[in-house]
Amino acid sequence: MAFELPSLPYATNALEPHIDTRTMEIHYGKHHSGYTAKLNAAIENTELEGKSIKDILTSLDMSNAAVRNNGGGYYNHCLFWEVMGPDAGEMSTELSNAITAAFGSFEAFKDAFSNAAATQFGSGWAWLCVHADGSLEVCSTPNQDNPLMKTVGCGGTPILGLDVWEHAYYLNYQNRRPDYIDAFFNVVNWSEVSNRYASR
Ligand code: MN3
């Protein structure tokens, strides 16, 4: 069973003005679609065919560039669409307490996450990850790597991710990545992030 491009949980214009319609159309319809097709091509007739994406990434041979790049791209964008939305929802008390425990306050978490996103040189992602004991970590990874991969320098399960590839923001923000990062916090779906925290 090949991987399929999941449907977007909202319309392509739902995140305006923070993330513009044209960027969503290209990012979802071209980039994510491309990662999906290339992942399927890379695993076809290999022992990876039929495994879950999480299983593939947690046991990945990092020298397998096609699966690393396209499997990462497939998983990362699936998460990215789901942790955003036109409705911010509500953060659970459990997640709120974990953020305070790890960072001191929500504002301090936001600063740490924004800094990770702003200082990731070139293309990559910023992450909020949960460890098995419920503790939280902010980190960033290059390209389409993610914390499920063993040797990327951060661990745990990602529950919030921000794509800082130029394709994610250039049409609307050009070189102003910090403005895009600020805008992202207007479209985070905290109910979804809380669900991911709870189901770690
Ligand atoms: Mn992207």
Crossing angle, helix 106-119 and helix 177-184, to 10 degrees?
Answer: 140
Cβ neighbours around 7 below 10 Å, total: 8
User: From ligand 1's centre to the CA of 39, what distance in Å?
Assistant: 15
1 pLDDT above the threshold of 90:
no
Q: What is the pTM of this model?
A: 0.97
Which residues partner with 94 through β-bridges?
none
**Domains in the chain with CATH codes:** 21-82 (1.10.287.990), 93-198 (3.55.40.20)
Convert the pLDDT of each residue in 69-85 to its tens digit.
999 999 999 999 999 99
Q: Identify the CA nearest to 96 among candidates 190, 159, 181, 189.
A: 190
User: From ligand 1's centre to the CA of 138, what distance in Å?
Assistant: 19
Convert the pLDDT of each residue in 143-155 to its tens digit.
999 999 988 888 8
| pLDDT the model gives residue 91 | 98
User: From ligand 1's centre to the CA of 77, what distance in Å?
Assistant: 6
User: From ligand 1's centre to the CA of 97, what distance in Å?
Assistant: 30
What mean pLDDT is predicted for residues 172-184? 98
